Amino acid sequence: MTLNQRFARYPSLENVPVLITGGASGIGASMVEHFALQGAKVAFIDLAEDAARELIREFTDRCPHPPRFWSCDLKDVATLRKVVHEIANEMGAVRVLVNNAANDDRHKLEEITPEYWDDRMAVNLRHQFFLIQSVSPGMIEAGGGSIINMSSIAWMIPSTGLPAYVTAKAAIVGLTRTMAHELGSSNIRVNCVLPGAVLTERQRRLWWTPEYEKEIMGHQALKRNLLPEDVARLVLFLASDDSSAITNQSYVVDAGWV
């Protein structure tokens, strides 16, 4: 991908340390690309090392600051805190945090155990709070920042067949609202983005059948596939100084489904 001249350029993102979770594939990889091409200093966390290193190779000579990758299981909060410390030491205090990582594996209501429930919360919700907790002192010292939490329209439709995931995604909206007020006096903005049915490689591989696409188009006002870059461009805006008066808000990117 190259920076499309039809879309906005944000000078306020140049040289800004940005941390993105789940950045090796899908929507996260598109965010890594978009921030890197804006001239930001991008760090991303994932467990998919091969995909992460391939993404970095694509940008070695294409942006001022090639993205940096840290391998970390986001369920391991102690290690996650160490990674945040390493990123700050090497790149400067994180000024933009994108809490993107999640897992939408399907699961049946009657088969959920307490252990599986706790694991889904750890995968989809808990790390968002602890990353905010970890990066906020550096943001405060640096004079402020922007945090973007990724939710989903799954809880608004509501979706079925993945109730633990839907619960976590609903909770992220509440987390966003309280953190916006916790951190607002320190000039830290906290907003939420709720994508609809985005055509990622994972969706295409696992669930994107002709029947599913027909259902999606039946609900959407805009009759086209949503792509990862449609989400990434909104996240860029919320990270930039162009949105400096916006916090405590949730933005839907779903082509008009809800």
Q: Please state, in angstroms and rounded to a whole number, the distance separating the CA atoms of residues 106 and 118.
A: 15
Q: Please state, in angstroms and rounded to a whole number, the distance separating the CA atoms of residues 235 and 232.
A: 5
**Residue 8, domain member (yes or no):** no
165 catalytic per annotation: yes
Domain count, the chain: 1
Q: What is the pLDDT of residue 3?
A: 57
pTM for this one? 0.95
Retrieve residue 93's tokens.
Answer: 């205090």
The pLDDT of residue 5 is above 70? no
159 in Cβ contact with 204 (< 8 Å):
no
**Residue 2, domain member (yes or no):** no
Retrieve residue 9's tokens.
Answer: 């350029």
**What does the pLDDT look like over 86-124, one tens digit per residue?**
999 999 999 999 999 999 999 999 999 999 999 999 999
SS (H, E, C) 48-92: CHHHHHHHHHHCCCCCCCCCEEEECCCCCHHHHHHHHHHHHHHHC
**Residue 7, domain member (yes or no):** no
**Residue 190, domain member (yes or no):** yes
Could you say which of 116, 165, 212, 251 is catalytic? Answer: 165
**Residue 258, domain member (yes or no):** no
| Residue 16 φ then ψ, to 5° | -85, 130
The mean pLDDT of 189-211, rounded to a whole number, is: 93
**Residue 226, domain member (yes or no):** yes
Strand-pair partners of 251: 193
Q: What is the pLDDT of residue 61?
A: 84
**Residue 4, domain member (yes or no):** no
Q: What is the pLDDT of residue 29?
A: 97
SS (H, E, C) 160-192: CCCHHHHHHHHHHHHHHHHHHHHHHHHCEEEEE
Confidence bin at 187 (pLDDT 50/70/90): very high
The mean pLDDT of 184-211, rounded to a whole number, is: 94
Q: Please state, in angstroms and rounded to a whole number, the distance separating the CA atoms of residues 113 and 158.
A: 22
| Structural domain that includes position 246 | 14-250
Residue bearing the bigger pLDDT, 58 or 23: 23
- Residue 77: CATH number of its domain: 3.40.50.720
**What does the pLDDT look like over 213-246, one tens digit per residue?**
999 999 999 999 999 999 999 999 999 999 999 9
Residues in the chain: 258
**Residue 257, domain member (yes or no):** no
Q: Please state, in angstroms and rounded to a whole number, the distance separating the CA atoms of residues 23 and 32.
A: 6
